[in-house]
């Protein structure tokens, strides 16, 4: 019968409404009932016409109370739902499913090296100074124990020198003599080159020597230097440091060599140091380069400065450094160490602006004086978002913001150390890079 079907459909809709959350409004429920009723009429119109013909009642007429006795009172159900909603509002429960968001900030810094190489967990410790030690034996003799890592440092420095050509390799005083000249003239040219090199760049010294070799009347030899007037000799070397004083020294030394040393240079350290303007460093280098005898280490500012940076000793002047090195360094390296450290000081371990980032010793933690710049870091700002729902349940997630901080290069913060080649000149001013 028609009334029983309507009854069943209505009961089904009401049961469905009860299973849903009570937040649904009465108007929404009535709209559902109207849509369902219209659909029912459209679908069962023919069947209703048949019932009309059988019962004699017109279609759509009101049904008896007995026919609708099983239909619940829908109005009372929704009134009860509204009352529950009202009580929850009074208790402070908000009807929407999401409450205001609570954000918890977390941040941490992660080193770039750790991100690029996750397997590297520990940071290499900075090298400690391990100078040569004096050990006194039972018989009273003193033995010098060399620095524990000196061989590794020496080998790595030689590797860097082989990879980087320095001015001393092509324009050093030992290589400036004219190989076409006689051995005596070559020795004299080597001595003059060393005298000119004091407080002067190798590039300037080499140009002056080439000018004398190419343009000096009679060739570059002892007799020609003696024959030249001081102003003419000064004109050849006026680009080097303290050229007026060096002109005087060279003229005096040439006359001494003619009178006391048979027009040749001395073959002893004492004889060389007796010449005006010739010190211990020049004497040992000249003895090695001119006579092929290594009787001592030629210690200039590079050798003195770098060996102190390495922590091999703590000396105050080049002569003290020479005595300390000669006490333990193998003699076969006495000649090589000057070229080694001069070139290293000209290319990587510069007097001003050391390039510790390019040095293998700093990379392996062997140099205690390495200037390590501020590493680039990745800053991760993590925001933990917490969402609390109507029923008390919460949900969280994290949002990450990544920022990279600026890098400071080692040469921007290196200590300024004046080179012997810059003595007498105005100190160069350092500029400080602004922080990013």
Residue 207: alpha-carbon gap to chain centroid: 38
Among the listed residues 391, 414, 282, the one whose alpha carbon sits nearest the alpha carbon of residue 338:
282
The residues facing 382 across adjacent strands are 106, 400
The residues facing 105 across adjacent strands are 383
The vertex-238 CA angle with 178 and 225, nearest 5°, equals 50
Helices (H), 56-122: 74-90, 112-116
Give, in order, the Cα–Cα distances in Å from 417 to each of 87, 159, 251, 342.
Answer: 82, 25, 33, 15
Tell me, what DSSP letter sits at residue 423?
Answer: T
Q: Is 281 a catalytic residue?
A: yes
CB 287 within 8 A of CB 272: yes
Start-to-end Cα distance in the chain: 86
CB 145 within 8 A of CB 135: yes
Q: How far apart are CA 278 and CA 195, in angstroms?
A: 7
- Active-site residue, from 126, 281, 379, 425: 281
The residues near 120 (Cβ < 8 Å, ≥ 6 apart) are 113, 114
Q: What is the largest CA-CA distance in the chain?
A: 159
Active site residues: 281
């Amino acid at each position: 019968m028609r009334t029983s079907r309507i009854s069943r459909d209505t009961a089904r809709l009401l049961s469905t409404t009860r299973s849903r959350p009570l937040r649904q409004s009465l108007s929404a429920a009535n709209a559902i009932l109207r849509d369902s009723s219209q659909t029912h009429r459209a679908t069962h119109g023919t069947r209703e016409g048949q019932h009309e013909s059988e019962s004699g009642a017109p279609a759509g007429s009101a049904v008896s109370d007995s026919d609708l006795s099983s239909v619940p009172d829908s109005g009372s159900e929704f009134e009860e739902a509204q009352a529950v909603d009202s009580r929850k509002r009074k208790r402070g429960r908000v009807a929407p499913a999401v409450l205001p968001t609570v954000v918890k900030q977390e941040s941490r810094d992660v080193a770039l090296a750790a991100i690029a190489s996750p397997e590297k967990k520990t940071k290499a410790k900075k090298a400690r100074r391990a100078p040569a030690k004096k050990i006194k034996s039972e018989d009273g003799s003193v033995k010098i124990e060399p620095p524990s890592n000196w061989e590794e440092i020496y080998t790595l420095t030689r590797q860097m020198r082989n990879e980087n050509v320095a001015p001393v390799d092509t324009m050093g005083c030992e290589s400036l003599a004219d190989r076409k000249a006689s051995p005596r003239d070559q020795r004299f040219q080597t001595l003059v080159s060393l005298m000119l090199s004091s407080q002067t760049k190798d590039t300037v010294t080499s140009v002056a020597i080439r000018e004398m070799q190419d343009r000096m009347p009679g060739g570059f030899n002892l007799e020609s230097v003696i024959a030249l007037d001081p102003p003419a000799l000064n004109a050849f070397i006026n680009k080097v440091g303290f050229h007026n004083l060096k002109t005087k020294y060279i003229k005096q030394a040439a006359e001494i060599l003619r009178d006391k040393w048979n027009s040749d240079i001395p073959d002893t350290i004492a004889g060389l140091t007796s010449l005006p303007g010739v010190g211990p460093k020049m004497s040992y280098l000249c003895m090695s380069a001119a006579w092929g005898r290594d009787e001592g280490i030629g210690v200039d500012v590079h050798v003195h400065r770098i060996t102190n940076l390495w922590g091999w000793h703590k000396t105050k002047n080049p002569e003290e450094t020479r005595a300390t090195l000669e006490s333990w360094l193998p003699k076969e390296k006495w000649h090589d160490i000057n070229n080694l450290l001069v070139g290293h000081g000209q290319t990587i371990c510069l007097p001003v602006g050391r390039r510790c980032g390019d040095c293998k010793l700093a990379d392996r933690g062997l140099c205690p004086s390495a200037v390590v710049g501020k590493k680039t870091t990745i800053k991760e700002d993590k925001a933990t978002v917490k969402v609390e729902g109507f029923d008390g349940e919460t949900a969280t997630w994290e949002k990450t913001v990544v920022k990279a901080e600026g890098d400071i290069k080692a040469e921007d913060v290196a200590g300024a150390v004046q080179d012997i080649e810059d003595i007498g000149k105005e100190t160069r001013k350092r500029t400080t890079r602004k922080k990013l």
